[in-house]
Homo-oligomer: A and B are copies of this chain.
């Protein structure tokens, strides 16, 4: 049984779109052939939000968990820990108590990181949990970790991030992932002291899995499967891609409007451009794993619509099915 708690109240479009995403997921599961049907959701929300889910034809797929409170999107992480009646806190507690295997929320990132770290709890051998995202590359995707959870990072933590990234890449289908350290050049002596120390440590512990230093230009090219970096650089890299993506689509539209062949081209080419946009859309990858805690925690984009949230649930289910947390525990034990 794959048991997932959903925070129905988190996200810019909560609860409507989040609830709709949960329903879409269940409908898809109930109809699909050749998929695991032993899935059970804990839907955590205000009584008002849960009302029409009680006597729903698909209600055997879920348990309703009532929460009196929910966290606004601009909440301070410290305050999140005090509001124990919130949907996010209650969902975290379900994970802590092993009543579920995974938790998905589109709520405030800092609040979710706090709940995951301090309510669910860190794994042994992990100093700082980290955010891992799958960003598109030429062939498929590259795991970027830390994508923004920790801005001040010690070199030893980068090895822990690497371990998390490897397990993530594995459940996403990469049997023998290559790990690169994000740096300002490929030579061994590049970067700050932290990068130099991390390089030596990664080389020692990861052996052949460690590719060496990589540069920003390698991320979307897919030189490696896992890009390890601190949450400051990782966040900047991830968001720079987002900005570049906006620039590209704007230029295409602008240029197309300048000439007849451009306009004709964009009309004929529309299907291709839409596919491209979809490939580059972070929402098509669903959620972001928050790794290093004792349970599967998926952060859905704050702006998630129903499709994005459904994908985030799928990602969480994949994490449970692939035994992400257990595998990570084993890897960390091997390094003790």
Contact = CB atoms under 8 A, between A and B. Distances in A.
Contact of A266 (B151, B192, B269): B269
Contacts of A251: 138, 276, 279-280
A3 to B, nearest CB: 33
B246 A138 contact: yes
A83 interface: no
A284 B275 CA distance: 29
A136 B255 CA distance: 15
Contact of A272 (B152, B242, B256): B256
B243 A272 contact: no
A138 B253 CA distance: 11
A246 B220 contact: yes
Contacts of A229: 236
Interface stretch (A6-14, A257-265, A300-308, A322-330): A257-265
A216 B235 contact: yes
Contacts of A252: 272, 276
Contact of A240 (B191, B237, B259): B237
A148 interface: yes
Contacts of A182: 236
Contacts of A191: 151, 232
Contact of A136 (B247, B256, B266, B275): B247
Interface string A212-239: 0001111111000000010111011111
A236 B268 contact: no
A271 interface: yes
Contacts of A250: 138
B237 A237 contact: yes
A335 interface: no
B244 A184 contact: no
A247 B272 contact: no
A284 to B, nearest CB: 13
Contacts of A280: 247-248, 251
B192 A216 contact: no
Nearest to A190: B151
B272 A265 contact: yes
A256 B244 CA distance: 21
B261 A237 contact: no
A137 interface: yes
A195 to B, nearest CB: 8
Contacts of A30: none
A308 to B, nearest CB: 17
21 contacts: A137-B247, A152-B192, A184-B232, A192-B232, A215-B235, A216-B239, A216-B240, A217-B242, A220-B244, A221-B247, A232-B233, A236-B236, A236-B237, A245-B248, A247-B280, A252-B276, A256-B272, A259-B271, A261-B268, A262-B271, A268-B268
The 8 closest A-B pairs by CB, nearest first: A265-B269, A216-B239, A216-B240, A244-B244, A220-B243, A265-B268, A220-B247, A217-B243
